[in-house]
Amino acid sequence: MIKNTITGLLASVIFNTSLTTVALDGFEG
């Protein structure tokens, strides 16, 4: 249960970070 929560949180952070990076890259480009 705890492991799934941590994994989900980590995946969410990675997804949000990559999404933000792409958004900023497209905005600056």
- Round to whole Å and give the CA distance between 29 and 9: 30
pTM of this prediction? 0.60
- Rg of the chain taking only CA atoms, in angstroms: 13
Give pLDDT tens digits for 1-29: 789 999 999 999 999 999 999 988 888 76
DSSP label at 1?
-
Q: What pLDDT is attached to residue 9?
A: 96
